[in-house]
Amino acid sequence: MKHLVFKNIVLFIGILTACYTAQAQSLLDSTALDNLSEKDKPTLLTQLAERYRINANYKAAIIKAQHSVSLAIKTKNFTEATKAYAMLVNVYANTKQFALLKKTSDTTLSIGQKAQQPIALAYAYYAQALFYNAIDNNEQVTKYCQMGLKMLDKKYDPYLAAKIYYLLYALNTRWNDVKSVNRYAQKALESALKTTDYNLLSNCYIALSVAADYNFIATKRELYRDSIIYYLNKVQDLYKQYPQYVARKTYALSCVNSADFYLRYFSDTDEAAKANAIRYASTANKVMTGMLNGEEIRASSLGILSEYAKRDKNLVMTEGYLQESYSIMKSQQSPYYYTLINIVTALATFYEQNGNYVKALEFQKKATEYNNKLFDQKQALNAQKLEVQYETEKKNNEVKLLKQSEKYAQQQKYLYFGITIASILGLIFMFRSYHFRLRYSLQREKQLHLEKQDAELQMKFEKEEQARLKAEQLLLESQQQQLQKEVMANQLQLEHKKEMLFQIKEKLSDNHQLNINKIWNEELLLDNDFEEAKFQIQQVHPEFFSQLNQRAQQKLTSLDLKLCAYLHLKMDTKKIAQLMHIEAKSVRMSRYRIKQKLGLGKDEDLKLFLQDMG
């Protein structure tokens, strides 16, 4: 259950947890709009939209941002319009509305370029970075972040600089680039300290706590371990000092991460660490109760409390915390399946360890169900991302072609102008000199040559377009193959778990005495072996099995195919017998039958044959 807390929740902050300007907090009231002129209203409206966004009230945020855009464009304040559009981009990125996200990010860039101001362009580039971050194009995220920072060199804005550095920090956490995570988290903090935005500052302190955690894992130096809780305490101090300026979600996240800190880095016998962890986890749960989109944080805090109840061997409280977190996550309209899967897996493990195999099986089935839903959700999102990426590349190519066409049209315009002049001069002096007629002929030849080049260039563009489409098709095929690999590997593991539970059920029905601890320990050892096998099976080319079936004329069973996969991975007979829950003798007999089905001779080695085929 611990993995449900620190890694997932800290990264959940990502770039979705935002910030709002504390200087204008006293104005963040809709009644203040009545006292402002139309020229000054867009700034306040954008700040109100940001306030709604960080509290997950996306509908209200969109309304305020659109109102700000309308007034800003009406008063020709294109810089403020760019800021409001960037706000909308952030909302659409948070809610994964990819079609609107693409359209709005393009509009933001257009308005920013129209403003012709460094700050406006910086916000426009930041919006582009948010768009590419949403569709996982890391190269473009880095590119537009650097372009935004370059604009800020001309006119510095510490608030926007902190947000861009924070986005770069979040991006590098995906790659576990410890050096870059530290560098960008520190730069984000340095910029945030120059603002009075205490929520932004709190997020930067959390980023530094994550960087310290990376450092401690890499070096095991206690200085870095102590830095984790030091930066988290900074967030809690800011919340106590400025409760109206620091978002409750930011404060709750720092509490969950503090609780997880004591859970991970202190022994079971440390009563002070236990008390701190329980206090922080309880605080996070209390703070987020009734809050919009606070379910993941509450579930994580309850997960920590269940871990301590489990250590105290308080089975009733352990079950209660896990069931409560499950109930909270189920109540979501669109559940966060990663957390939900962790919860039901923890419940399945809990019931299995306590001998309630019926409930263990029930929650194991739920884990499978949620994994399937997560897979479907990821497929749908990936399809949307691919569609947006395709449309983006298509539009970018169209823009390039238009620019090139415009360039060639301009050249042709000049050429035609020159031809016209030459023609007029030729008509005037055609009777005076043969030289002028020859010059006209040469100009005409030049024109034909340019037209030929233009036609060749058009053909080149068409070939490049065909190549691009072919590359996209190959990419889709590669992704489909990878999905097939993952489904195959997960199916093997599910079959293994079902077989284990079925054997336990049979032994129970035969009234055999079971040593649950022995079975559990053996299963843990097998799980370690299976996880290694699962990773390697995913590397097997999908055509491997189709070639086997073709060679055996469809005579191979699913058990035969599984054994072939293990042999291809160079596993010995003993390990295969353990993973398949059969005797080593049965493995050898199965190998002999497979050789016959494949039509191999006595002297041919089945393992070498399968490895060569892979």
Which residue type sits at 197? D
Indicate the range of 11-25, 45-59, 584-598 predicted with least confidence: 11-25
Whether residue 209 is predicted with pLDDT greater than 50 in this model: the reply is: yes
Please state the domain count of the chain: 2
- Residue 558 counted as domain residue: yes
In this structure, the answer to whether residues 379 and 500 fall within a common structural domain is: yes
Whether residue 143 is predicted with pLDDT greater than 90 in this model: the reply is: yes
- Residue 520 counted as domain residue: no
Put simply, whether the predicted model's pTM sits higher than 0.75 gets the answer no
Tens of pLDDT, residue by residue over 164-199, are 999 999 999 988 899 999 999 999 999 999 998 999
Structure tokens at 66: 């659109």
In this structure, the answer to whether residues 440 and 544 fall within a common structural domain is: no
Residue 427 sits in which domain range? 375-506
The predicted structure's pLDDT at residue 600: 86
- Residue 259 counted as domain residue: no
C-alpha to C-alpha distance for 299 and 277, rounded to whole angstroms: 15
Contacts of 468 (CB under 8 A, 6+ apart): 393, 397
- Residue 600 counted as domain residue: yes
In this structure, the answer to whether residues 594 and 477 fall within a common structural domain is: no
Tens of pLDDT, residue by residue over 247-292, are 899 999 999 999 999 999 999 899 999 999 999 999 999 999 988 7
Nearest to 599 by CA among 550, 543, 530: 550
Whether residue 495 is predicted with pLDDT greater than 90 in this model: the reply is: no
- Residue 474 counted as domain residue: yes
More confident of the two residues 172 and 449: 172
- Residue 515 counted as domain residue: no
Tens of pLDDT, residue by residue over 293-351, are 888 999 999 999 999 999 999 999 999 999 999 999 988 877 888 889 999 999 999 99
- Residue 446 counted as domain residue: yes
- Residue 518 counted as domain residue: no
Whether residue 8 is predicted with pLDDT greater than 70 in this model: the reply is: no
CATH number at residue 568: 1.10.10.10
Going by pLDDT thresholds of 50, 70 and 90, the confidence category of residue 383 is: confident
The predicted structure's pLDDT at residue 582: 81
More confident of the two residues 186 and 524: 186
Mean pLDDT of 382-391: 79
Mean pLDDT of 19-29: 40
Tell me if 253 sits within 8 A of 297, measured CB to CB.
yes
The residue behind tokens 């169209």 is 398
C-alpha to C-alpha distance for 303 and 2, rounded to whole angstroms: 7
In this structure, the answer to whether residues 484 and 379 fall within a common structural domain is: yes
Nearest to 202 by CA among 258, 149, 164, 253: 253
> What is the residue-averaged pLDDT of the chain?
83
The predicted structure's pLDDT at residue 18: 36
DSSP string, 133-173: HHTT-HHHHHHHHHHHHHHHHHS--HHHHHHHHHHHHHHHH
